[in-house]
Amino acid sequence: MSESRGTAPPKRDDSDVRGSAEPTEQEVFDILSNRRRRYALYALLRDETTTIGSLADQIAAWENDCAVADVTSAERKRVYTALQQSHLPKLERTGLISFDPDSGRVDPTDAVEELDFYLEVVGEEQLSWDQYYLGLAAVSAAIVAAVWLDLPPFGAVSPLIWLTVVVGLFGVSAAVHNYRSTGLSDAAEPPEVRRQD
């Protein structure tokens, strides 16, 4: 018989296995499929280091569309319990946060900064950035073709001016895109909360 019979194998710590590896795309989508986890990540992008108590207060305020001071103890407790038992341990397993259950301290890892791309919520009435850039590329290609074919009024203006217009459009678009992406971490509340207004 085996000598190890009746003894459990040593428990493997997921944080040791994952180390500083970033979560996979599937893990990111799984994490972001839950609204409370999204809210927790927004709050951590804004405040960096926090406690589970203040995180619960902020999330409860967003969920109940009220100020943090107006959150009831029942609303706070519901969020606190869910964070402590489920959401924060899951965020920690995927390497997005460091959570100390004893002190209640929650710290984001560097991987959270990479989630801005996924956290941007695009409403039904808005174009996503990939659709926007695809349209801009199509317009630019049409301008180049019109200049090349010397179609009026494109032939009357120097090709260098048209090149400047196209480069300027992409430059301004990239600057706006960068500004809006950076603004996610500075936002007072998640985009999905702001859209309810």
Judge whether 43 lies within some domain.
yes
**Do residues 74 and 88 touch, judged by C-beta distance below 8 A?**
no
| Per-residue model confidence (pLDDT) at position 81 | 94
Count CA atoms closer than 13 A to 40's CA, side-chain side.
30
Judge whether 18 lies within some domain.
yes
pTM (whole model) above 0.75 = no
Residues 112 and 19 in one domain: yes
Average pLDDT, the chain: 78
Judge whether 40 lies within some domain.
yes
Judge whether 92 lies within some domain.
yes
Residues 180 and 142 in one domain: yes
Residues 144 and 163 in one domain: yes
Q: Residue 54's domain is classified under what CATH number?
A: 1.10.10.10
| Nearest alpha-carbon partner for 69 in 80, 57, 81, 78 | 57
Distance CA 92, CA 109 (A): 9
| Per-residue model confidence (pLDDT) at position 109 | 86
Class of residue 50 by CB neighbours under 10 A (exposed 0-12, middle 13-18, buried 19+): buried
Judge whether 3 lies within some domain.
no
Distance CA 22, CA 15 (A): 11
| Per-residue model confidence (pLDDT) at position 54 | 92
Judge whether 8 lies within some domain.
no
Average of per-residue pLDDT across 7-13: 41
Distance CA 117, CA 52 (A): 25
The model's pLDDT over 114-167, given as tens digits with 9 standing for 90+, comes to: 776 566 554 445 567 778 888 999 999 999 899 889 888 888 888 899 999 999
Residues 93 and 148 in one domain: no
Distance CA 99, CA 50 (A): 10
Q: Is the pLDDT of residue 183 over 70?
A: no
Average of per-residue pLDDT across 177-192: 62
Q: Which residues contact 69 (CB under 8 A, 6 or more apart)?
A: none
Task: Using the Cα atoms of residue 168, residue 174, residue 180 and residue 185 in order, give the sign of their dihedral.
Answer: negative
Counting residues of the chain whose pLDDT is more than 90, the rounded percentage is 28
Residues 158 and 177 in one domain: yes
The last residue of one of the domains, among 61, 93, 119, is 119
User: Phi and psi at residue 49, in whole multiples of 5°?
Assistant: -105, 135
- Tokens at 58, concatenated: 């902020």
Domain extent, residue 186, equals 129-194
Judge whether 63 lies within some domain.
yes
The last residue of one of the domains, among 99, 119, 139, is 119
The model's pLDDT over 58-92, given as tens digits with 9 standing for 90+, comes to: 999 999 988 889 999 999 999 999 999 999 999 99
Separation of first and last alpha carbons in the chain: 68
The string over 91-115, giving b where at least 16 C-beta atoms fall within 10 Å of a residue's C-beta and e elsewhere, is bbbbbbbebeeeebebebbebbeeb
Q: Which residues contact 105 (CB under 8 A, 6 or more apart)?
A: 49, 50, 51, 99
Q: What total of structural domains would you count in the chain?
A: 2
